[in-house]
Amino acid sequence: MTGRLLLDGGIPPSEVAGFGRPRIELGIGDSESGRIRSDGTFTIADVPRDEYWVRVVNLPANWYLKDVRSTEADLMRAPLIVSNNAIRLEVVVSRNTGRLEGIVIDQRQQPVEAVEVTLIPDQPRERHELYRKAQTDNTGHFVIDELAPGDYKVFAWEDIEPFSYFDPAVLKKHEQSGTNVRVGEASSSIVTVRLIPLVN
């Protein structure tokens, strides 16, 4: 597998001071990864046949993965399918992250302090690196910075088993209770989120 990473606008990483040395990873928690050279090119050898979600790790602050493509597919919305064929990837990253702030209110329209807010991408839900969390302050306010632009749902559960929202079956039960939000490039969004009460 070979490819090239470019910054938004077609600029190679070597032209941005302090950009560092990010790495291409396939999936989450696996060992198949490739160091990105200063000209943006990378190679990953001996990749087992499987399906992978392509990620870029060790990006500088405020940068996000904007686009990943092969000759066959848009890999932002579908996994990379590895077979016996050689693969060429085109990867684009951008520094135009977004910001989300808001307030969590209960059924009495009162702000709720010290509750966890979970931001989950609409599609594809398999991109777990896009899931983000924050906690409300004593006024019910929260802020989540450095977000990849896109469509999300915001959930604020009164109580939920930690990380159970990664299970599609669990999330499906609460889907209608989430608050839709769109995060734009280099923009700030504001949202009011209703607390999802504990069901005994």
Q: Give dist(CA 142, CA 117) in Å, integer.
A: 8
Burial of 25 (0-12, 13-18, 19+ CB in 10 A): buried
- Domain for residue 199, yes or no? no
Beta bridge partners of 74: 69
pLDDT digit string (tens) for 43-96? 998 888 999 999 999 899 899 999 999 987 899 999 999 988 889 999 999 999
Cα distances (Å, whole numbers) of residue 102 to 71, 160, 179, 190: 40, 20, 11, 5
The CATH number linked to 120 is 2.60.40.1120
- Kindly state whether residues 107 and 183 are assigned to the same domain: yes
> What are 143-195's pLDDT values in tens digits?
999 999 999 999 999 999 999 999 999 999 999 999 999 999 999 999 999 99
Question: Which of 52, 68, 94 is the last residue in one of the domains?
Answer: 94
| Domain assignment present for 200 | no
Q: Residue 173 is part of which domain span?
A: 98-194
**Residue 48 to residues 1, 51, 108, 128, 143: CA-CA distances in angstroms?**
11, 9, 54, 22, 40
Q: What is the pLDDT confidence band of residue 31, given thresholds at 50, 70 and 90?
A: low
Backbone angles phi, psi at 130, to 5 degrees: -90, -10
Q: How many domains is the chain built from?
A: 2
* Per-residue tokens: 123: 């599609």
Per residue in 96-120, pLDDT (tens digit) is 999 999 999 999 999 999 999 999 9
Of the three residues 65, 94, 123, the one that is the final residue of a domain is: 94
Query: Do strands 116-121 and 132-135 pair parallel, antiparallel, or not at all (unpaired)?
Result: antiparallel
Same domain, 75 and 142: no
Q: How confident is the model at residue 32 (pLDDT cuts 50, 70, 90)?
A: low
- pTM for the structure as a whole: 0.89
